[in-house]
Amino acid sequence: MNKLKESIINRHSVRAYSDKHIEDAKVAELQDIILKYNAASGLNMQLITDEPEAFNCFLAHYGKFRGVRNYIAMVGPKDQKEACGYYGERIVLAAQAMGLNTCWVGLSYKKVKQRYTIGNDEKLHLLIAIGYGTSQGVSHRSKSVADVTICKEEMPDWFKAGVEAALLAPTAMNQQKFRFELIGNKVKATTFPGFYTKIDLGIAKCHFEIGAEVDKSIWL
Ligand SMILES: Cc1cc2nc3c(=O)[nH]c(=O)nc-3n(C[C@H](O)[C@H](O)[C@H](O)COP(=O)(O)O)c2cc1C
């Protein structure tokens, strides 16, 4: 099985981290990946290391975050929520393949603005905590393939594999509000309104492409 599919199966949100530092070589690898995806997307994602203050606040403690000292600041144009989800999750899955753990964080942190740059027309969409977890996390409850698909014909294997991978994706409050519709040999991905659903949709589309072994040309 390829590494990204393994990452999809093994990844769970991890909120408690050990004090083991991320090795320099892995930091450099993450920086390279982030540069590559910033260039592809126009986002301004930034890896912040050895910065404990963002998760040293009531919201983070209340949200059961412990020991977070590294994170990715998901900065980008205000209207680029789906890209933020898509490319952020590409980084999450690469980090998982390096033996690191992660958690997308929309609310449970405070801003430490001196550690990252936010350009005009950009905003900090959210953070991704990253590091060595004290555990590997646990599987989330999930909707079924039938709950999140519209498919008039018999479901092709590749489409089912894509949806199964999307059902393993992280979503805010585990809401899984995405839908995949098979139209001819293309797929229409949509979402219902709600908190962070456009980011969730980008994350789910990233998983779908990997699970179905297709590229962006699949989308209607
Ligand atoms: C956009 C987004 C925002 C999230 N925000 C938070 C958050 O603020 N606090 C938190 O504890 N978890 C947060 N999560 C993690 C979700 O709760 C988690 O992905 C979901 O429960 C599914 O669990 P899993 O990631 O272990 O599969 C967020 C996830 C996403 C995708």
- Within a domain: residue 16? yes
Which stretches in the chain have pLDDT values below 50?
none
CATH code at position 104:
3.40.109.10
Summarize pLDDT for 79-105 with one digit per residue, the tens.
999 999 999 999 999 999 999 999 999
59 three-class SS: helix
Same domain assignment for residues 83 and 50: yes
- Which pLDDT belongs to residue 138? 98
Q: CA-CA distances (angstroms) from residue 163 to 44, 79, 169, 180, 192?
A: 29, 26, 10, 7, 17
Ligand 1: lining residues by beta carbon, under 6 Å? 12-13, 15, 63, 103-108, 126, 137, 140, 170-174, 196, 199-200, 203
Q: Which residues contact 154 (CB under 8 A, 6 or more apart)?
A: none
Range of the domain at 122: 3-131
Cα 13 to middle of ligand 1, angstroms:
7
- Which pLDDT belongs to residue 1? 75
Summarize pLDDT for 176-206 with one digit per residue, the tens.
999 999 999 999 999 999 999 999 999 999 9
- Which pLDDT belongs to residue 26? 98
Distance CA 182, CA 150 (A): 7
Same domain assignment for residues 18 and 46: yes
Cα 130 to middle of ligand 1, angstroms:
13
Q: Which residue lies with its CA nearest to atom 12 of ligand 1?
A: 105
User: Are the beta carbons of 47 and 72 closer than 8 angstroms?
Assistant: yes
Same domain assignment for residues 180 and 114: no
The tally of domains found in the chain comes to 2
